[in-house]
Amino acid sequence: MKRYHVFISGRVQGVFFRNTTRKKAQELGVNGWVKNLEDGRVEAVFEGSKEKIDAMIDFCEIGPRLANVEKVEVSEEEPENLDTFKVKR
Protein backbone atom coordinates (compact mmCIF):
# COMPACT_ATOMS: atom_id res chain seq x y z
CA MET A 1 0.00 0.00 0.00
CA LYS A 2 1.31 3.40 -1.07
CA ARG A 3 0.04 6.93 -0.49
CA TYR A 4 0.77 9.93 -2.67
CA HIS A 5 -0.19 13.57 -2.09
CA VAL A 6 -0.72 15.45 -5.35
CA PHE A 7 -1.15 19.12 -6.26
CA ILE A 8 -2.36 19.96 -9.78
CA SER A 9 -1.93 23.45 -11.25
CA GLY A 10 -3.33 25.10 -14.36
CA ARG A 11 -6.93 25.47 -15.50
CA VAL A 12 -8.17 22.70 -13.23
CA GLN A 13 -11.18 24.20 -11.47
CA GLY A 14 -14.60 24.53 -13.06
CA VAL A 15 -13.75 21.75 -15.56
CA PHE A 16 -15.13 18.72 -13.65
CA PHE A 17 -11.63 17.76 -12.44
CA ARG A 18 -12.77 16.57 -9.01
CA ASN A 19 -15.68 14.52 -10.33
CA THR A 20 -13.69 12.82 -13.09
CA THR A 21 -10.84 12.13 -10.64
CA ARG A 22 -13.31 10.45 -8.27
CA LYS A 23 -14.75 8.35 -11.11
CA LYS A 24 -11.27 7.28 -12.28
CA ALA A 25 -10.20 6.40 -8.72
CA GLN A 26 -13.33 4.32 -8.17
CA GLU A 27 -12.80 2.58 -11.53
CA LEU A 28 -9.22 1.68 -10.54
CA GLY A 29 -9.98 0.84 -6.90
CA VAL A 30 -7.90 3.70 -5.48
CA ASN A 31 -8.90 5.29 -2.16
CA GLY A 32 -8.37 8.88 -1.04
CA TRP A 33 -9.87 12.28 -1.74
CA VAL A 34 -9.75 15.32 -4.02
CA LYS A 35 -10.60 18.98 -3.40
CA ASN A 36 -10.26 22.47 -4.84
CA LEU A 37 -7.88 24.92 -3.18
CA GLU A 38 -8.45 28.66 -2.86
CA ASP A 39 -5.34 29.37 -4.94
CA GLY A 40 -6.86 27.65 -8.00
CA ARG A 41 -5.06 24.31 -7.69
CA VAL A 42 -6.60 20.90 -7.08
CA GLU A 43 -5.26 18.77 -4.21
CA ALA A 44 -5.61 14.99 -4.05
CA VAL A 45 -4.49 12.03 -1.98
CA PHE A 46 -4.31 8.55 -3.51
CA GLU A 47 -3.87 5.28 -1.63
CA GLY A 48 -3.47 1.90 -3.25
CA SER A 49 -0.95 -0.12 -5.22
CA LYS A 50 1.92 1.72 -6.92
CA GLU A 51 0.60 0.71 -10.36
CA LYS A 52 -2.90 2.04 -9.70
CA ILE A 53 -1.59 5.29 -8.20
CA ASP A 54 0.72 5.74 -11.19
CA ALA A 55 -2.39 5.47 -13.40
CA MET A 56 -4.09 8.16 -11.28
CA ILE A 57 -1.08 10.46 -11.59
CA ASP A 58 -1.02 9.88 -15.35
CA PHE A 59 -4.71 10.89 -15.40
CA CYS A 60 -3.94 14.04 -13.36
CA GLU A 61 -1.24 15.09 -15.84
CA ILE A 62 -3.93 15.30 -18.53
CA GLY A 63 -7.17 15.81 -16.59
CA PRO A 64 -10.66 15.95 -18.05
CA ARG A 65 -11.28 17.30 -21.56
CA LEU A 66 -11.72 20.96 -20.54
CA ALA A 67 -8.70 21.09 -18.22
CA ASN A 68 -5.30 22.58 -19.06
CA VAL A 69 -2.85 21.01 -16.63
CA GLU A 70 0.40 22.94 -16.26
CA LYS A 71 2.08 21.20 -13.34
CA VAL A 72 1.64 18.13 -11.12
CA GLU A 73 3.56 17.94 -7.84
CA VAL A 74 3.74 14.55 -6.14
CA SER A 75 5.08 13.50 -2.73
CA GLU A 76 4.93 10.14 -0.97
CA GLU A 77 3.44 9.89 2.53
CA GLU A 78 2.66 7.20 5.07
CA PRO A 79 -0.64 5.46 4.21
CA GLU A 80 -3.64 6.08 6.46
CA ASN A 81 -5.56 3.06 5.11
CA LEU A 82 -8.46 5.08 3.71
CA ASP A 83 -11.38 2.93 2.58
CA THR A 84 -13.22 5.18 0.09
CA PHE A 85 -12.57 7.93 -2.43
CA LYS A 86 -14.47 11.16 -1.95
CA VAL A 87 -14.70 14.73 -3.16
CA LYS A 88 -14.00 17.18 -0.35
CA ARG A 89 -15.64 20.58 -0.40
Where do the domains of the chain lie?
Answer: 2-79
Return the HEC string of 51-76: HHHHHHHHHHHHCCCCCEEEEEEEEE
Half-sphere exposure of 19 (CA within 13 A, CB side): 7
Q: Give mean pLDDT, residues 1-24.
A: 98
pLDDT tens figures, 34-62: 999 999 999 999 999 999 999 999 999 99
Mean residue pLDDT across the chain: 98
Of 3, 11, 18, 89, the catalytic one is: 18
36 catalytic? Reply is yes
19 catalytic? Reply is no
Residue 82 bridge partners (DSSP): none
User: What's the pLDDT at 19?
Assistant: 97
Q: Give mean pLDDT, residues 6-19.
A: 98
User: What's the pLDDT at 33?
Assistant: 98
Of 19, 22, 36, 68, the catalytic one is: 36
CATH class of 2-79: alpha beta
